[in-house]
Amino acid sequence: MTRFRLFVCMDGSVAALAAGRLALELAAEYGGVVRAVSVVGGDDWEPALPGRASLGAGAGARMEQAHRATLHRFGAMGRERSVKVETELLHGGPLREILRDARSWRPDLVLIGRTRRSGPGSPMLGSLAMQVVEFADWPVIVVPEKPGGS
C-alpha cells in the first residue's frame, strides 16, 4: 500500500510548528509518512554580513544545535501519534536544499509555515514560503501560526 507522503519545512518558528502539527494530523488520519527537514547555512549563519558580527564565535554551531533539537522534538511528536516521521538536517541555502530534498523524496504534499508580514507593503507570505510555493513541483499548504489567524 502506498502511503501518503507529507514533506514539512521546520525552522523552530511557531508557524513551522503549526505546519508540522497539521502534517502529523493528516498522516495519522490518512495513513501517511512525514519527512521533516530543517536547513542551516545560507543566510542563517553568515557572520560577515552587517549586523551579524555580534553573533560571535560558535553561532553556527548553536544554530545547528537548535535545528537538531527542533527535529528531535518533532520526531517525538510523531511517535506520540504513532506516525512514521523521518527527519533530516540539511546544510546550504534554504530554498535550494528544501527543493532538492523534496525532489529526491517525492512528496504528495509540502507544508510550510507562514511568517508574519513585516509591515505595510510587505508580501503576504514570508519570502521562503513564497519561493517554495512558486518553485515546488507539488501542492503546497501554507499554514498560519494559529488556525484561522494571522
pLDDT tens digits for 15-71? 999 999 999 999 999 999 999 999 998 654 444 344 444 455 578 888 899 999 999
**Domain containing 141: what range?**
92-104+111-150
Q: Is residue 129 part of a domain?
A: yes
Q: Is residue 99 part of a domain?
A: yes
In this structure, are 82 and 25 located in the same domain? yes
Q: Is residue 84 part of a domain?
A: yes
User: What pLDDT is attached to residue 43?
Assistant: 55
Q: Is residue 11 part of a domain?
A: no
In this structure, are 120 and 142 located in the same domain? yes
Q: Is residue 149 part of a domain?
A: yes
User: What pLDDT is attached to residue 121?
Assistant: 52
Provide the angle, in degrees to the nearest 10, between the axes of the packed helices 94-105 and 127-135: 40
Which residues have CB under 8 Å from 76's CB, separation 6+? none
In this structure, are 82 and 24 located in the same domain? yes
User: What pLDDT is attached to residue 145?
Assistant: 84
pLDDT tens digits for 76-129? 999 999 999 999 999 999 999 999 999 999 999 999 998 765 555 555 556 899
User: What pLDDT is attached to residue 45?
Assistant: 41
CB 113 within 8 A of CB 140: no
